[in-house]
Amino acid sequence: MPMGNPAPLGLLSFGMTTMMLMYVDMGWAEGSFQEMVIGYAFFYGGLCQLLVGIFELLKGATFPFAVFGSYGAFWMGWGLVHLVNESDQFTFSGDYTNGKTVWLIQWGLLTFCFWIVSLRKNVCLIVVLGLLHWTFFLLAAASATGDSGVKKAAGTIGFLTGIAAWYTAIAEIINEEWGRHVLPGLHPRTSPERIAISKESIIKRADYDAKNKTMFLQFRGMQIRTLQDVLAIKEGVEEAVKNTGESRVHVVVDYEDVVIMDDVASDYWNMVNNLQRELYLSAKRFHVSSFGTKGRMLQQGLGNQENYTFSDSKQAKNATVRGQSN
């Protein structure tokens, strides 16, 4: 079943909950209004973002999973602390100015890291995360100094952050419904570069570790569309192995975001099998995650893979391959 785009819900829940809290920090609302924010922090700002993060993970999108998961948990944690505090359940005074300051700085630094990644995305996301990390840093300054003016400035920047997130969500919904970019700011700033496949380019993508007799093949993002591509890969790998001075080597291949067309899939895997028999001591797929988890697998029209798998069949079957017929 096709999955819709969960991001607008995450952006709306983040943006609108943020704006609610900033009403208090800017002095637009009474301090007691924070009680209403607590409820929304649990469900709209917290639970909704966590669910969006999970849906993004199911789509295979790591960055939005990390972003929505982090801020969803942030809001739920914030809500719990303030709920217990206002219920007089804490056994201590709650005077932890230094701790709160470094906590806000910590979130500012995390958001800054997210902002760096967003520079590859679109203007809307750059603005949202750019404003947000300044919000955290200003809130940290207000916590450290107790200056009401700094807190009001933080509230203003935070309010603009919420507006930017709200706009981004609405823009995504409208643009999706109209089928074109009606509202600006969502055009990707970078486009995937089509990697030219030739014998020479494959050789350049082969790195050899002589100590461990291991060759790393950087195939990430390649689109294997023709028999000429398959032949170029074969010749490039053969030449790369020859250049090592060894007759056989261990091979680790990065298959992240590789596309293999249906028309050449069987030829490609048969070629891989032949290389394995002739040149490889072993063959494994590079794990993108630092936790060692395998990437997504989308296989269409690959036929009976038992005829053209690596010696470690599980590694081959988990290679990130997208067979497309168009």
pLDDT, mean of residues 104-130: 96
Select the more confidently predicted residue: 283 or 60: 283
Give the model's pLDDT for residue 12.
97
The closest of 177, 180, 192 to 8, measured between CA atoms, is: 177
- Residue type at position 185: G
With a cut of 90, say whether residue 246 has pLDDT above it. yes
Indicate the pLDDT class of residue 11, thresholds 50, 70 and 90: very high
With a cut of 80, say whether residue 238 has pLDDT above it. yes
Give the model's pLDDT for residue 193.
63
Mean pLDDT of the chain: 85
Give the model's pLDDT for residue 192.
58
Q: What are the pLDDT digits (tens) for 142-197?
A: 999 999 999 999 999 999 999 999 999 999 999 888 877 889 999 888 765 667 89
